[in-house]
Structure 1
Amino acid sequence: MRALLGARARHRWIHLVIGGALLMPYFLVGSVVVGGTAHGAGSFDSFPLALVTFALALPLAAASGLVPIARPLLVLGVRALCGVDPVALADGPARSWDARLRTSAWYTLHVALGGILSGASLVLPPFTVFLIALPVFPGLRHSVYSTGGPLATDWGIALAPAAGIAMLLALAACSAAAGALLARLAPLLLGPTPVDRLAAAEQRAAELAVRNRLARELHDSVGHALSAVTLQASAARRVLDSNPEFVREALAAIEETTRRTVDELDSVLGLLRQDDDPDAPDPTTPDLAALEGLLARTGLDVGYALEGDASRLPELVSREAYRIVQEGLSNALRHGGSSPVTLQVAVREGELTITMENSLSGAEPAVRPGGGRGLRGMAERAALLGGQASAGPHDGAWRLSARLPIGGAR
């Protein structure tokens, strides 16, 4: 009884009734054609004409099912009423003729079964009420006896209620079977095609690329600023009583660092609002032109040497180079203590090279939960430009090396 009259069976029956309602416009068009060729006889005048009209309505429904927007509308109904796993169904309009043909086949089957079950649902319940009431009301028995037929006997009258209940159960069984058939065929006919899976994979890859870019920008900009502020605040705390002038300079540097970091954070969060082109460079993102200001705010003793003209670099290369240097300085702040740092940036024919070295403090670096993404982020930035970046111990020091191609950078 649960399979015939449970919540899922009822929802699928509603879905079939909707299919019958969707069939009616096509059925009316078919009835016009039948009425024009049957010398005025209507589709409702005889059962054979109704079948002909039904047969004419189905090709019209199949043609409308080829419209690309039909698939998301049908999928919405299946997800709401048929109890099908939503993951097994496709999202969005049909992108290929294969998907359109599958959608058309499912839609035609839906309206065909829905039309039949809807017609039975309209006819059988009133007839069942008549059969149940037949033994009780003498007037009904008299009319049956007078017209003849299989019910015009004492046994026919006595068994009429059981026959009516059996008809309702048969209707429920047919509805449950038709609903189960549609639910089974829905993933096959309304499921994603290879074209849909490829489009979904491309969209997922684009979303991951944007997320990775946001993660790199936040890690390099905010992470560096917090490391610099921590170092300066720690140094100021140690000399708070003995060197007030240094404390004032450290507080001013902290103020400037946080102000610039807020601007960079607004720039990074602006990437979330770039709907048309999420990979478009943000003009407020700093590049190598702002490198000297970055070095002055770190609180480290940095020996900086620039070879070549950095102002003629492509914007993307200059911006990514700035972030690589920024992450290198963050690592020096975290792991190198206050040891001096040497930085060499060289703009040569066809490539930009970055070399940064600092002494190792000798202390074991603290392990941060979720940390260790900076070096991978530098390598990703360089790889996206067709270059490479690496960092690690070298002759008792920590060395960062990066090479970024200039020609054809995108």
Structure 2
Amino acid sequence: MRGFGVRRFGVRGLGIALFGRRARRRWVHLILGGALAMPYVFVGSVIVGPLLNDDRFFGSLTSQLASFAAGLPLAAITALFSLTRPMSVAAVRALCAVPEGALAEGPARGRVARGRTAAWFTLHLGLGGLVSGMSLALPPFACVLLAVPFFAVFRDSRIGLPEVFGEPWLVALSPVVGCASLVALAACAAASGGLLARWAPALLGPTPADRLAAAEQRAADLAVRNRLARELHDSVGHALSAVTLQASAARRVLDHDPEFVREALAAIEDTTRRTVGELDAVLGVLREADDARSTAPAPTLATDLDGLLRRTRASGLRVGATVALEPDTLPPLVSREAYRIVQEALGNALRHGGGDARVSLRIALDGPDLAVTAENPLPPRSPATRPGGGHGLRGIADRARLLGGTAAAGPADGAWRLDVRLPLKGHA
């Protein structure tokens, strides 16, 4: 019983291997290769026909095989075009059951990738053409063999080859030969499909150049994500700190100073409206939107410093600002990053010093650099640490480093001092 179960499982496994869903899909992939090979075979017949003195439309079997062999080098040459690999990869993913991530993305880059793609395309069309030819010829032949014992017309006609089926034992054996030919066709298709699936990762997989390009793309995506994170942290974090302090101050004087409450609510409205615009611009970049809102210009010292100082003072922070230069003369990139640095410095003073704190801000030229200095008194006790907080100073350091500058922050003479240097050269 156990041996019978093993044999039964073996027969079932063989049937799945030859006629299962995966085998059928790979067979379709081979038929697709045969269809793609037909134009090259026709061109090959134009070349081979005169050489073999065969002017028949289909030609002899020898002529057909020679035309097929002559067409494959033409297929290899046309496979050097960059779009051949995406087409081949799409077909393999859909039909060959290749592991996810084993195939390359995008057009072939470089000589090695194009050579591998040409080898794959030639192999696919070669095996596909052979299997397609067998798929067209063997099933009708097998059907004739299956019908020979039951229909005399097949035995006596030219189709039945009377000189072959003249013996009764040959007639009785013909159905076995017919079934064996169908099984042999399925076995050839399964073996060819498995060979293509095994070679696909080697020929269509990523080359070192593809891996380098993918790594560079991941690095670029990570840089964009970090930039968006800094923009969100600086703009939204500063706005929330200002709105929180404005709302808290308005609540405390709500009963006896309505004018201050009115001013605080107006400042909250202005801050939130502006922050929503900045947030929409940042999210527009994240969505890769093409509308006008996603391409809104980023705030800079030249265009938005006065508004930033006004909104910060409306929050209760006493800001003493000295701007010893013309912001319009700064390079746009330096002006934009300096604005975010000033915004984060004021936001830190708001968060850690409260509404009664003060900060001294100086923006000036220091030789070839733009110097941004912010100084505020240390609070009497250390502020509570926010979960997930502490990214502001790191963001300032990242902005300065990306521009080739420096940033230093820490306590000095009873005050907290931020000193940033941004070089102007090379950012015009």
Secondary structure at the counterpart of residue 147 of structure 1: coil
Pick the aligned partner of 1:386 from 401, 404, 409.
Answer: 404
CA contact (8 A) 2:26 2:96 kept: yes
Range that drifts further, 86-95 or 247-256:
86-95
- Residue in 2 that maps onto 1:326: 343
Shift of 1:100: 1.4
Secondary structure at the counterpart of residue 101 of structure 2: helix
CA contact (8 A) 1:355 1:400 kept: yes
- Residue in 1 that maps onto 2:41: 27
- Residue in 2 that maps onto 1:352: 370
- Residue in 1 that maps onto 2:127: 113
- Residue in 2 that maps onto 1:169: 183
Pick the aligned partner of 1:98 from 82, 97, 112.
Answer: 112
The 1:285/1:333 distance shift into structure 2, 3 A limit, reads same
Deviations 1:188-207 (A, max 9, x none): 11112222222222222222
Which whole-Å CA distance do the structure 2 matches of 1:196 and 1:178 have between them?
28
Shift of 1:142: 4.0
Secondary structure at the counterpart of residue 206 of structure 2: coil
The 1:297/1:131 distance shift into structure 2, 3 A limit, reads same
Matches within 5 A, 1:3-402: 3-42=17-56, 44-143=58-157, 147-149=162-164, 151-272=165-286, 283-298=297-312, 299=315, 300-338=317-355, 339-358=357-376, 359-360=378-379, 362-368=381-387, 370-402=388-420
The 1:169/1:5 distance shift into structure 2, 3 A limit, reads same
- State the one-letter code of the partner of 1:355: T
CA contact (8 A) 1:344 1:355 kept: yes
CA contact (8 A) 1:34 1:43 kept: no
Shift of 1:155: 2.1
Give the alignment's Cα RMSD to 1 decimal.
2.4
Secondary structure at the counterpart of residue 425 of structure 2: coil
CA contact (8 A) 1:356 1:399 kept: yes
Which whole-Å CA distance do the structure 1 matches of 2:17 and 2:32 have between them?
20
- State the one-letter code of the partner of 1:85: P
Which whole-Å CA distance do the structure 2 matches of 1:133 and 1:140 have between them?
7
Range that drifts further, 109-118 or 332-341:
332-341
Question: Given the two structures, how large is their TM-score scaled by the length of structure 1?
Answer: 0.91
Which whole-Å CA distance do the structure 2 matches of 1:23 and 1:181 have between them?
18
The 1:244/1:363 distance shift into structure 2, 3 A limit, reads farther
Which whole-Å CA distance do the structure 2 matches of 1:286 and 1:405 have between them?
16
The 1:212/1:342 distance shift into structure 2, 3 A limit, reads same
User: How many pairs were matched up?
Assistant: 404
Deviations 1:127-147 (A, max 9, x none): 112222222223334448872
- State the one-letter code of the partner of 2:353: G
CA contact (8 A) 2:373 2:420 kept: yes
Which whole-Å CA distance do the structure 2 matches of 1:314 and 1:120 have between them?
71
- State the one-letter code of the partner of 1:11: R
Which whole-Å CA distance do the structure 2 matches of 1:28 and 1:346 have between them?
77
Range that drifts further, 33-42 or 209-218:
33-42
CA contact (8 A) 2:86 2:105 kept: yes
Deviations 1:260-294 (A, max 9, x none): 22333344345458799xxxx96452325532321
* Structure 2 unaligned spans of 5+: 1-14
Shift of 1:399: 2.6
Which whole-Å CA distance do the structure 2 matches of 1:153 and 1:393 have between them?
108
* Structure 1 unaligned spans of 5+: none
Range that drifts further, 82-91 or 395-404:
395-404
- State the one-letter code of the partner of 1:237: R
The 1:332/1:152 distance shift into structure 2, 3 A limit, reads farther
Shift of 1:37: 2.8
